[in-house]
A and B are shown apart, each in its own frame.
Chain A
Amino acid sequence: MLSYAIRRLFGTLPTLLLIVAIAFFMMRLAPGGPFDKERRVSVAVEQNLIKAYRLDESLPMQFVRYLGNVLQGDFGPSFQYKDFSVTELIWSGFPVSLALGGAAILIATVLGLLLGALAALRQNGPVDYAVMATAMTGIAIPNFVVAPVLTLFFGLMLGWLPVGGWSGIDNAILPVTALCLPQVAVIARLTRGSMIEVLRGNYIRTARAKGLPERLVVARHAMRAALVPVVSYLGPAVAAIITGSIVIEQIFGIPGIGRYFVQGALNRDYTLVMGVTIFYGALIILFNLAVDLIYGLLDPKVRYD
């Protein structure tokens, strides 16, 4: 397994390079530039800005220079947020998004697995329908509806929790709830579906025939097999959640990196967009690798070659 992991890691380098190249050239294709503002700067000032950021060099030249910097760990200055470098912005925002997203996905996974397993075991009963109906609403209602409703209810009307900001545990409760609700729903559905599939298996019948208590049958045997699709989903999902949700961060005023993806693109902040794209790409590659390795733990039939 170790050699497989190492081989995979080497294989990620060309993938990452491709991501960087595509993102770089696509960003430049978009009309409008980082210095286009409503107060149009004079030609002289625009020339100064372009020279200062080396945008007057040819595109391939800029790309090579950028790659060189990245390999030394320098993602460049942010065009939009001039007082900070991209590295600093990502480094200050990522722990926040990680804390928020990590907590949300952890809670969502635990709850989702429990609810999904419950629904599968009581298939077609009232519990099953209740869980699935709640799951549907969780998936259907978008988080930019859930979040303001939560702040209105718990923040404004009841006054139990703060409406926005990021200065204590209190501030985390509502955003984590808003983030994890759709995830609970998805994971519950996935678990239920695969659990139902697994519970039909021969080895489950054998385990029951042996006289194993039901909870051991489920926890030790069925769950491991049922986890496979959930893990496949979780790989990219965790990467996506811990890189922040722009909606949640904007609504709750949380200093994560989610909004850098969108704001960076809208502002044509080339370096910021490249920085977060590379970061996100690297995370997804890493998590996909982790997922593949976890398969080996869950499913004894999986071999690495």
Chain B
Amino acid sequence: MRSFRIALKSALVALLFALATATAAQAEMVLHRGNGTEPETIDPAKSTGVTENAIENDLFEGLVTFSPDGKEVPGVAESWEISDDGTVYTFRLRDDAKWSNGDPVTANDFVYSFRRTVDPATASDYAPILSPIVNASAIIAGENTDIASLGVVAIDDLTLQITLNGPTPYILGLLTHNVAFPVHQATVEEFGDEWTRPGNMVSNGAFMLEDWVPQSQLTVVRNPNFHAADEVMLDKIVFYPTEDLAEELKRYRAGELDITYDVPSDQVTWLEENMADEFHNTPYLGTYYYVINLTKEPLGADLRIRQALALAIDREILTEKITQAGELPAYAWVPPDIAGYTQQATFYKDMSQDERNAMAAELMAEAGHGPDNPLAIELLYNTSDNHKKIAVAIASMWKKIGVETTLTNQEWKVYLESRDQKNYQIARAAWIGDYADPLNFLELFLSDAGERNDAGYSNPEFDRLLAEAAGTVDPAARMKLLEQAEKIFLDDVALIPIYHYTSQHMISPKVVGWEFNILDIHLGRYISLVE
């Protein structure tokens, strides 16, 4: 009887304990978010990818931050003044911005962080996007060894001044990028490469790092010292690496994830029919295209052949029947929905596909090719089922105008090297914008862009327009110049745009505060869960 009473008591204790932990767990609002690949690093000066950016956006806050719909709004800087010639930006910082350990965020933190980013010893991949800042490029290249000459100075503890080479209206967009986030100097100096470890890391965003198990999950908890901490509703966000999209979808459907990173493309149709209110498919700032190696004959010399190749592709059929993920057929290089920019169009945008095919056949005949004298073309893409499907479809479309296409696929790194060395004829490519400005797309093809200009495109008028735009203060006038530049670029057919990207996510109906924006950036500070 005594042992029975003991057993009963311990069972009661166990039950109470379970209840207590259950209610405690329910009181905490935790968001489970699929995040694609395992982050390479969460040092904002060194990271390059979208997955890392998503985490850093919650851990850190820059001078400028994002509103839920993707607009730039004051972050650590509560206001700023722009000089008349557009080259000097003076930021007034908030007086209540704090690091997660209670230290105040000062202008010196930003000076330290910007200098660290451009320092060649940090070897930051993305530092070059700060090149509009005075002396940034020279310091990154190692030509200027005086890092303190960088055009970022602290006038006083709460005033930061950034000096630019020329008027750069998109600088505010640039400053939202993780490469411009502040890092805590004392922490970095004390721990060196290990400062990003849980327990060491100090950050100034809405959340702070609690735990990181590589390949398993990365957990951030609310930062009580964040200046808007009372507006942050989530207690915790857990980021999971989800490389296998089919499994990610299953975990979402089983309730283990609230948000997915992406959606397997072969299930899009099923999802649209069965889970339409949870499947979100919205435009994304990117273009999928085929780049043409202009340094090789005959494509480099003969505009007619390039035009014919571009005309013969039926983008509607590709996006409707083959990729089936709601992508937008692309008739421009720069994607739509960039504020203030009128999207340009290739000359064949308003033609019907039959008209395009007819014109393509004519152009090929003029160039001396046709079904009886086919042109041999090699098409390169990186190994992937999706790219293969598209390539096969396009090859059959080209066959009709007398082009014999050889499909070559290479593993990712090998393929990148082939493009770098211009060891290809036509290659599949994609570009996702770093910030919502057309320059991010157009500057790839400046004649001095080096390896990034893998088409080998060189048009002095294009270069001139971009240079003029760099010196233009008035944003509207600048956009006009960029539009002209893109028109020239499209007419030269250095690449064949195929579709504009969409970002696809499964989002649980419990999630509130996730709004569509073209950069697909969603900060945890605006998100909450309802039961």
Q: Do A and B come from one complex?
A: yes
- B40, B128, B417: which contacts A42 (Cβ < 8 A)? B128
Is the CB–CB distance between A44 and B120 below 8 Å? yes
Chain B residues within an 8 Å CB radius of A38: 416, 429-431
Residue of chain A at shortest CB distance from B416 = A36
Question: Complex Cα distance A145/B450, Å?
Answer: 45
- Residue B240 lies at the interface, judged by CB distance under 8 Å to chain A: yes
- B38, B123, B242, B243: which contacts A48 (Cβ < 8 A)? B123
> Restricting to A104-142, which residues have a CB under 8 Å from any CB of B?
none
Is the CB–CB distance between B250 and A156 below 8 Å? yes
- B39, B256, B413, B429: which contacts A31 (Cβ < 8 A)? B413
The distance from the CB of B218 to the nearest CB of chain A, in whole angstroms, is 11
Question: Complex Cα distance A77/B411, Å?
Answer: 24
The distance from the CB of A116 to the nearest CB of chain B, in whole angstroms, is 33
Is the CB–CB distance between B196 and A163 below 8 Å? no
- Residue A203 lies at the interface, judged by CB distance under 8 Å to chain B: no
The distance from the CB of A154 to the nearest CB of chain B, in whole angstroms, is 10
- B43, B216, B217, B420: which contacts A40 (Cβ < 8 A)? B420
- Encoded as 1 (CB less than 8 Å from any A CB) or 0, chain B from 179 to 218 comes to 0000000000000011011000000000000000111110
The distance from the CB of B175 to the nearest CB of chain A, in whole angstroms, is 19
* CB-CB under 8 A for A252 and B247, given A37-B416, A38-B430, A77-B193: yes
Question: How many interface residues does B have (CB within 8 Å)?
Answer: 55
- Residue A89 lies at the interface, judged by CB distance under 8 Å to chain B: yes
Is the CB–CB distance between B215 and A32 below 8 Å? no
Is the CB–CB distance between B451 and A255 below 8 Å? no
The distance from the CB of A82 to the nearest CB of chain B, in whole angstroms, is 4
- Residue B414 lies at the interface, judged by CB distance under 8 Å to chain A: yes
Question: Complex Cα distance A271/B467, Å?
Answer: 42
Residue of chain B at shortest CB distance from A259 = B215
The distance from the CB of A29 to the nearest CB of chain B, in whole angstroms, is 12
Is the CB–CB distance between A82 and B120 below 8 Å? no
- Residue B152 lies at the interface, judged by CB distance under 8 Å to chain A: no
Question: Complex Cα distance A155/B48, Å?
Answer: 35
- Encoded as 1 (CB less than 8 Å from any A CB) or 0, chain B from 72 to 102 comes to 0000000000000000000000000000000
Question: Complex Cα distance A120/B148, Å?
Answer: 80
Question: Complex Cα distance A80/B412, Å?
Answer: 15
- Encoded as 1 (CB less than 8 Å from any A CB) or 0, chain B from 126 to 142 comes to 11100000000100111
> Restricting to A20-45, which residues have a CB under 8 Å from any CB of B?
30-33, 35-45
> Restricting to B18-59, which residues have a CB under 8 Å from any CB of A?
38-43, 46, 48
> Restricting to B414-470, which residues have a CB under 8 Å from any CB of A?
414, 416-417, 420, 429-431, 450-452
Chain A residues within an 8 Å CB radius of B194: 83
- Chain A's interface size range is 35 or more
Question: Complex Cα distance A268/B416, Å?
Answer: 12
Question: Complex Cα distance A164/B254, Å?
Answer: 10
Residue of chain A at shortest CB distance from B238 = A165
The distance from the CB of B240 to the nearest CB of chain A, in whole angstroms, is 6
Chain A residues within an 8 Å CB radius of B127: 45
- Encoded as 1 (CB less than 8 Å from any A CB) or 0, chain B from 202 to 244 comes to 0000000000011111000000000000000000000011111
- Residue A296 lies at the interface, judged by CB distance under 8 Å to chain B: no
Question: Complex Cα distance A77/B196, Å?
Answer: 14
Is the CB–CB distance between B216 and A255 below 8 Å? yes
The distance from the CB of B117 to the nearest CB of chain A, in whole angstroms, is 11
- Residue B124 lies at the interface, judged by CB distance under 8 Å to chain A: yes
- A36, A81, A163, A259: which contacts B247 (Cβ < 8 A)? A163
> Restricting to B260-275, which residues have a CB under 8 Å from any CB of A?
none
- Residue A92 lies at the interface, judged by CB distance under 8 Å to chain B: yes
- Encoded as 1 (CB less than 8 Å from any B CB) or 0, chain A from 153 to 165 comes to 0011001001111
The distance from the CB of A201 to the nearest CB of chain B, in whole angstroms, is 49
Chain A residues within an 8 Å CB radius of B124: 45
Question: Complex Cα distance A58/B253, Å?
Answer: 52
Residue of chain B at shortest CB distance from A36 = B416
Chain B residues within an 8 Å CB radius of A162: 254, 256
* CB-CB under 8 A for A83 and B412, given A44-B120, A163-B247: no
- B39, B217, B414, B430: which contacts A165 (Cβ < 8 A)? B217
Question: Complex Cα distance A254/B251, Å?
Answer: 13
- Encoded as 1 (CB less than 8 Å from any B CB) or 0, chain A from 40 to 57 comes to 111111011101100000
- Residue B121 lies at the interface, judged by CB distance under 8 Å to chain A: yes
- B40, B48, B213, B243: which contacts A81 (Cβ < 8 A)? B40
Question: Complex Cα distance A30/B414, Å?
Answer: 8
Chain B residues within an 8 Å CB radius of A44: 120, 128, 137, 140-142
The distance from the CB of A90 to the nearest CB of chain B, in whole angstroms, is 10
- B121, B125, B246, B452: which contacts A148 (Cβ < 8 A)? B246
Question: Complex Cα distance A44/B430, Å?
Answer: 24
- Encoded as 1 (CB less than 8 Å from any A CB) or 0, chain B from 295 to 328 comes to 0000000000000000000000000000000000
Chain A residues within an 8 Å CB radius of B214: 81, 84, 89, 92-93, 255
- Residue A251 lies at the interface, judged by CB distance under 8 Å to chain B: yes
Question: Complex Cα distance A52/B40, Å?
Answer: 17
- Residue A76 lies at the interface, judged by CB distance under 8 Å to chain B: no
Chain B residues within an 8 Å CB radius of A37: 48, 125, 416
The distance from the CB of B66 to the nearest CB of chain A, in whole angstroms, is 21
Chain A residues within an 8 Å CB radius of B46: 82
Between A and B, 20 residue pairs with Cβ closer than 8 Å are A32-B414, A36-B417, A38-B431, A40-B420, A41-B125, A44-B120, A45-B125, A81-B41, A82-B46, A83-B42, A83-B197, A159-B254, A164-B240, A164-B250, A165-B251, A250-B243, A250-B247, A251-B244, A252-B247, A259-B215
Shortest Cβ-Cβ A-B pairs, 5 listed:
A32-B413, A44-B141, A255-B216, A255-B215, A82-B41
With A43-B451, A44-B137, A253-B244 already in contact, 9 other A-B pairs whose C-beta atoms are closer than 8 Å: A33-B413, A35-B125, A40-B416, A43-B450, A48-B142, A81-B39, A82-B43, A159-B254, A255-B214
Residues in B lying within 8 Å of A, measured CB to CB: 38-43, 46, 48, 120-128, 137, 140-142, 193-194, 196-197, 213-217, 240-244, 246-247, 250-251, 253-254, 256, 411-414, 416-417, 420, 429-431, 450-452
